[in-house]
């Protein structure tokens, strides 16, 4: 009997010493991650607002996956069409890598010190802090997908746009300057 008690005590002591601690509930502010299956035109549809020097509304874009759409805390995915003659102004993203996948069209891409003309099916990898601009030099719209390695830029996009169908009022210089200042951790545009 004494051996039995010693054996049980040894098992209990060893088991207690090696058992992981019970999880402690913690408060969280993260959005619940939700799997998504989206068609081409599904997602959070938005339109760029006009801004100083270009008061007309810009192109539509779709935020597909981010902290608010699907609850991803690790990446951002969206799509946008860039009409012929339009461009994505020179800028850089200090806190995230970006990948552009040009599904259709012809673009002149300036990436750091390199300039190259690319076509539908091209991939552009933009390390954090690298200058990028894209110009549509073709006759057809460029359909592109953008992926960021970390959230941040999508909030700038929301601040400078409206939901599709909402009244689109151009940004004042003061509004645009404040948005750019607030989101400088995510994007820095070159000043003309």
Question: Is residue 173 very low, low, confident or very high in pLDDT (cuts 50, 70, 90)?
Answer: very high
**39 in any annotated domain:** no
Region 163-181: mean pLDDT is 96
pTM of the model: 0.82
**18 in any annotated domain:** no
How many other CB atoms are there within 10 angstroms of residue 89's CB atom? Answer: 12
From 17-21, 27-31, 83-87, the region with the lowest mean pLDDT: 17-21
Q: What would the two tokens of residue 155 be?
A: 């909030």
Question: Is residue 18 very low, low, confident or very high in pLDDT (cuts 50, 70, 90)?
Answer: very low
Share the mean pLDDT of the chain.
88
Contact between residue 164 and residue 46 where contact means Cβ atoms under 8 Å apart: yes
Contact between residue 107 and residue 118 where contact means Cβ atoms under 8 Å apart: yes
**95 in any annotated domain:** yes
How many other CB atoms are there within 10 angstroms of residue 135's CB atom? Answer: 20
- State the total domains in the chain: 1
- Here the CATH number for the domain that contains residue 51 is 2.60.120.10
Q: Which helix (H) or strand (E) holds 107?
A: strand 106-111
Enclosing domain of residue 119 = 44-189
Region 115-131: mean pLDDT is 98
**37 in any annotated domain:** no
**7 in any annotated domain:** no
Give the torsion sign (CA, 17, 19, 22, 23).
positive
Nearest residue to 107 (alpha-carbon basis) of 150, 143, 153, 55 = 143
How many other CB atoms are there within 10 angstroms of residue 134's CB atom? Answer: 23
Region 85-108: mean pLDDT is 98
**20 in any annotated domain:** no
**57 in any annotated domain:** yes
**154 in any annotated domain:** yes
Question: Is residue 192 very low, low, confident or very high in pLDDT (cuts 50, 70, 90)?
Answer: low
């Amino acid at each position: 009997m004494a051996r039995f008690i010693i054996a049980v005590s040894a098992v209990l002591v060893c088991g207690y010493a090696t058992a992981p601690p019970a999880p402690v509930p913690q408060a969280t502010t993260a959005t619940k991650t939700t799997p998504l299956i989206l068609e081409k035109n599904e997602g959070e549809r938005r339109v760029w607002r006009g801004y100083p020097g270009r008061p007309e509304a810009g192109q539509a874009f779709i935020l597909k996956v981010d902290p608010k759409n699907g609850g991803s805390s690790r990446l951002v995915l969206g799509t946008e069409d860039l009409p012929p003659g339009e461009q994505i102004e020179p800028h850089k993203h200090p806190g995230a890598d970006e990948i552009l996948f040009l599904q259709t069209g012809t673009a002149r891409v300036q990436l750091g010190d390199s300039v190259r003309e690319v076509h539908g099916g091209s991939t552009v990898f933009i390390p954090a802090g690298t200058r990028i601009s894209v110009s549509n030099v073709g006759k057809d719209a460029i359909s592109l997908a953008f992926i960021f390695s970390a959230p941040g830029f999508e909030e700038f996009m929301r601040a400078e746009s409206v939901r599709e169908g909402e009244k689109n009022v151009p940004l004042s210089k003061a509004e645009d300057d404040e948005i750019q200042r607030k989101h400088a951790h995510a994007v820095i545009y070159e000043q003309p």
